Amino acid sequence: MVENNKIKNYAIAIHGRGGMGVVTCAEIIAEAAFLSGNFVDVHAYPSFGAERRGAPVQAYAKLSRKEKIWDRTQIENPNILIILDETVFNQNIASSLNDNGILIINSEKEPKYFADKFNLSNIKIIVADLNKLALEKGLTIDGVPIINTPILGLLSKSLTDLSLDNLNKTVQKRMGKELGKLNIELIEEGYKLAKIL
């Protein structure tokens, strides 16, 4: 695995379903990365199609240490892949991840399951059952667990530029005191629950 400070640019693809907060997740990543002071430019943007609640959706974040980001195209080969809903994850998405990349996935399964099923060698895999966590803490919309913030704890585990402190500041600013506090707790719990291969 390449050390974080050796990577000049991060291309992050986030996959989930409409209504899960995929776009918000990308925006928080970009804001927290900028707060770190380690990136000169950051972008977060959705991939729009016929989105509706429950339909597969994607969003992207690009983080650059050295230069302005001009490209806003869909990320074809991310070096970090975040999966909010395991049911959207397939071989095509798995195969898009760059060698030595990072896969972060919300699942009750073990990381080795994904390594074996999708033939992911030279990939760092981070997994936690965030649905269970969100349900336990009452972070749901219409009964659906919202895990776009808890999954940031898993990202922080592998990308030290996104410290829990910067993530927490960003979430507090965006969500206000009460909702922010709950989401910050979930980020920290996600960080603790991370299983890494």
Residue 101 · residue 79 · CB < 8 Å: yes
Select the highest-mean-pLDDT range: 70-74, 96-100, 180-184. 96-100
Q: Give the structural domain span for 86.
A: 4-196
Tracing tokens 């992207």 back to the chain, one arrives at: 60
Quote the tokens at residue 181.
């506090």
Q: Per the structure, how many domains does the chain have?
A: 1
Give every CB contact of residue 37 below 8 A, 6+ residues apart in sequence: none
**Torsion angle defined by CA atoms of residues 32, 36, 37 and 38, in that order, rounded to the nearest 10 degrees:** -100
d(CA 38, CA 161): 7
Contacts of 48 (CB under 8 A, 6+ apart): none
- How far is the first Cα of the chain from the last one, in angstroms, to the nearest whole number? 11
Amino acid identity of residue 65, one-letter, is R
* Whether pLDDT at 50 is above 80: no
CA angle 154, 68, 163 (to 5 degrees): 25
The string of pLDDT tens digits covering residues 167-186 is 999 999 999 989 899 999 99
Residue 103 contacts residue 154 (beta carbons within 8 Å): no
> Does the reported pTM lie above 0.95?
no
Q: What is the mean pLDDT of residues 28-43?
A: 95
Q: Per the structure block, which two tokens stand in for 5?
A: 């400070």
Q: What CATH number does residue 39 fall under?
A: 3.40.920.10
* 49: confidence class by pLDDT, cuts 50, 70, 90: low
Distant-in-sequence contacts of 139-146, Cβ < 8 A, 24+ apart:
139/182, 139/183, 139/186, 141/19, 142/19, 144/19, 144/20, 146/20, 146/21
pLDDT of residue 2: 40
At residue 161, what are phi and psi to the nearest 5 degrees?
Answer: -65, -25
The pLDDT tens digits of the residues spanning 138-150 come to 888 888 888 999 9
Higher pLDDT, 68 or 140: 68
